């Protein structure tokens, strides 16, 4: 009886694998890509393909390569290994999505990019710097993080209304709550930073940090610090920022 059940199942798996392996990628993009997604130079198959350039809502993302996991189609949670390449960086990860596309699970994310080149929906106007990220676990609901475990490192961070360049900084997400939050700390340099970054609800962020002179601070930094944020007990300055994306 078990063999009679397994044989048709194996045949179904083989059929799905063959279909995915040969289905043209350009046809799949034309049929299934959301209206806000555009792609050029699409080659390969639905299983393994690439696009020279991809844009989302008019914002360029970069070149894209993907390798689909056919067995994930049977669980109704399509998953693929993807790699994005840009002139200023890259990103790679395994991505699994619900059929509705509202829930996306990302694992093994590694990325490096210039903040100022990212779409405004991801990075507010006036924010710049060099970013690298490693996230073993990241869950998105309707495009917004609801769980995050990983680390972001930023060098030469520039924030709106802040006359000092911050960094190098680390943002460490523990991933133990449904409200993503990160411990913010300096990784050396002339400015000491300690505080938190919170993503309280979709589209909103808040930053609360204490700033103080760090290792061998230049005179200009010490003097300029007096004009940043508000005086904090025990010395240093408290900087609080919040905004919408």
- pLDDT tens, 217-231? 888 878 888 888 899
Joined together, the tokens standing for residue 217 give: 């601070």
Confidence (pTM): 0.80
**Helix or strand run (H / E) with residue 133:** strand 128-141
Residues 12-39 have a mean pLDDT of 68
Between the two ends of the chain, the Cα-to-Cα distance in Å is: 57
Joined together, the tokens standing for residue 219 give: 């005179």
Residue 76 has pLDDT above 70, yes or no: yes
Q: How many helices (H) and strands (E) does the chain have?
A: 4, 14
Residue 115 has pLDDT above 50, yes or no: yes
**Bridge partners (DSSP) listed for residue 91:** 84, 111
Confidence of residue 30 (pLDDT cuts 50, 70, 90): confident
190-243 pLDDT, tens per residue?
888 999 999 998 888 999 999 988 888 888 878 888 888 899 887 889 999 888
More confident residue, 93 or 58: 93
More confident residue, 142 or 94: 94
Q: What is the pLDDT of residue 82?
A: 95
């Amino acid at each position: 009886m078990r063999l009679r059940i397994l044989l048709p199942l194996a045949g179904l798996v083989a059929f799905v694998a063959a279909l995915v392996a040969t289905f043209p990628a350009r046809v799949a993009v034309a049929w299934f890509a959301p209206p806000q997604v555009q792609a050029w130079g699409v080659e390969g198959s639905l299983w393994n393909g690439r696009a020279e350039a991809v844009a989302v809502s008019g914002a360029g993302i970069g070149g894209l390569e993907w390798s689909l996991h056919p067995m994930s189609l049977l669980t109704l949670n399509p998953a693929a290994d993807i790699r994005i390449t840009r002139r200023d960086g890259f990103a790679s990860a395994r991505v699994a999505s619900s059929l509705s596309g509202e829930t996306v699970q990302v694992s093994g994310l590694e990325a490096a990019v210039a903040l100022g080149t990212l779409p405004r929906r991801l990075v507010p106007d006036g924010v710049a710097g060099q970013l690298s990220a490693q996230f073993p676990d990241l869950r998105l609901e309707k495009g917004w993080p609801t769980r995050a475990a990983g680390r972001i490192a930023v060098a030469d961070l520039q924030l709106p209304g802040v006359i000092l360049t911050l960094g190098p900084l680390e943002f460490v997400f523990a991933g133990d709550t449904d409200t993503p939050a990160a411990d913010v700390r300096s990784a050396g340099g002339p400015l000491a930073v300690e505080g938190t970054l919170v993503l309280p609800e979709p589209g909103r962020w808040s930053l609360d940090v204490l700033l103080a002179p760090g290792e061998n601070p230049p005179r200009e930094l010490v003097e300029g610090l007096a004009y940043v944020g508000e005086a904090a007990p025990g010395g240093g300055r408290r900087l609080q920022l919040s905004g919408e994306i």
